[in-house]
Amino acid sequence: MLDPTLLRQNPADLAERLRTTRGFELDASSLEALEAERKQIQMRTQELQNLRNTRSKAIGQAKAKGEDASALLAEVAGFGDELKASEARLDTIKAELEAIALGIPNLPHESVPVGADESDNVEQHRWGTPREFDFEVKDHVELGARHGWLDGDAGAKLSGARFTVLRGGLARLHRALAQFMLDLHTGEHGYVETNVPLVVNADSMRGTGQLPKFEDDLFKTEVGETTRYLIPTSEVPLTNLVRDEIVDADALPLRMTAHSMCFRAEAGAHGRDTRGMIRQHQFEKVELVTIATPDTSHDEHERMTRCAEVVLERLGLPYRRMLLCTGDMGFAAAKTFDLEVWLPSQQTYREISSCSNCESFQARRMQARWRNPATGKPEPAHTLNGSGVAVGRAMIAVMENNQNADGSITVPDALRPYMGGLERLD
C-alpha cells in the first residue's frame, strides 16, 4: 500500500506517475471526490460526537442536581439519527478508499527503467558460458522419461494438468537441490531456516499483496465458514511474521529462509509452458525474505540477489541477471532483479529467481514497523523477497545442462554430498 498522503494530497500527480510507469489507470477525480466527502463527513461526525458528549455530561450534571433534563434529552435524541447515518457513511467511504488503495501497485524506484514489458528489461551481467553439445540435446521431459522418473501422466491422473510425479534418481536430485540451497543460505549467507504453514488466512495474503487483486490465481480451502489459502510462495508466511509488530532496530536486518511447497492456480496462464515442469500448479522453492530499515534495503536487495546467484554458480549453471522495467515488475515490487538460467533445449535463458525490494509497500498493508532510534517512533519497515531458487526449475537446468549422449545426467559436484556420492544418474 502506498503512503496515504500520496493519495490524499495530490492524486492527479500520482495518477500520472502510475500511468507512465505502470500502465495503471487511477481515477483521480473520483478519488478526490471521495476524499473531499470523507473530510466533510468526518468533520460533521466529530462535531456531532462532541455535541453528544457535552450534552450527555450536561444531562448527568442536571440529574445529579435534581433538575429537569428533558430538553437536553430531546436535543440528544434529535441529532442521534444524523450521527448514526454520518458514522455509517463515513465507514462506507473509508472502505471504498481502502479498496482503491489496496488495488494500486507500488511505485517503481527511480533506478528502474521505464518500459512496457519484458522486452524493455535491461541485462546487468552474465555468468558462465553455455555448453556446446556434440549430440542432439534432449529437453527435461525426454530425459526424465527414462525409468519413468518424470511422469506427467501420473500427475494428471492424480490431480489434473500441471502436476507431476517424480520417482527414483530424479526425486532424489530434487530433494538434494533443496537441501543444498538451505545449507548454503543458512550456513554461508546468514539466513535463519524457518518452517512455515502452507495454508494461511486472508489477512496474510492481503498483507503481501496477493489479495484482493490476485484471488483468481490462488488455491483456497473452505472448512465450515473459514476460508484459507494455499501459499503461492513462502514469502507470504515469512513476511507476515512481522505483521502488526514493531521490530527493534537492533534486530534488523531480519533474514529468513524457508523451503516449501508452493501452489498457484495460474488462472491467466493457459497455454503457456504446458510441457513438463516449467509451469506447475504445485512446485517447491527455497525462499529468501529480509525485513530491513529503509536506508539499508537497497543494499540488502543487492545482497539477496547475489545469494541466489551463488546457488547457480555452485551448480555450474550459466545465467544472466536482468533488471526488470516498470511494466514487467510484480504488483508489490519497487525494484526487481530476475535471474535467468540457460536451458539448452530452448536455446534461451528462462527465469529461475526473482528478487524484489518492496520498500514500505507490504509493510504498510501489514502494519509491520521498526522503531527508529533517532526519533524513538515506529516507522514502516522495508520488506524484500527472492527465490533462492526455484527447486523444480533448478532441477530442469541441471538435467539439461549436464546431460550426456546416452541420456544419463552428470551430478554437479555441489550436490554429490547430498546424493550419497553419486556422480551420475543412469
Would you name the residues annotated as active-site residues?
264, 279, 351, 354, 393
Please tell me whether 300 is known to bind a ligand: no
Q: Are 360 and 166 in contact (CB under 8 A)?
A: no
HEC profile of 28-57: HHHHHHHHHHHHHHHHHHHHHHHHHHHHHH
Please tell me whether 290 is known to bind a ligand: no
Please tell me whether 265 is known to bind a ligand: yes
| 74 Cα distance to chain centroid | 55
- Pairing mode, strands 226-230 and 246-248: unpaired
Please tell me whether 110 is known to bind a ligand: no
Number of Cβ within 10 Å of residue 214's Cβ equals 17
Please tell me whether 387 is known to bind a ligand: yes
Please tell me whether 19 is known to bind a ligand: no
Please tell me whether 351 is known to bind a ligand: yes
Q: Which three cell numbers stand for residue 147?
A: 525409468
Please tell me whether 33 is known to bind a ligand: no
Q: Give, in order, the Cα–Cα distances in Å from 221 to each of 124, 224, 228, 230.
A: 41, 10, 5, 8
Please tell me whether 67 is known to bind a ligand: no
Please tell me whether 264 is known to bind a ligand: yes
Q: How many Å is the Cα radius of gyration of the chain?
A: 27
Please tell me whether 234 is known to bind a ligand: yes
Number of Cβ within 10 Å of residue 350's Cβ equals 16
Contacts of residue 297, Cβ cutoff 8 Å, sequence gap at least 6 = 290, 357, 359, 382, 384
State the distance between the two ends of the chain, measured CA to CA, in whole angstroms: 51
Cell 536455446 belongs to 347
Give ∠ CA 136-137-141 in degrees, rounded to 5: 130
Give ∠ CA 379-384-387 in degrees, rounded to 5: 165
b/e for 361-375, b at 16 or more Cβ within 10 A?
bbbbbbebbbbeeee
Cell 442536581 belongs to 65
Per the annotation, binding residues for ATP are 264-266, 351-354
Annotated binding site for L-serine: 233-235, 264, 287, 385, 387
Q: Which residues are annotated as a binding site?
A: 233-235, 264-266, 287, 351-354, 385, 387
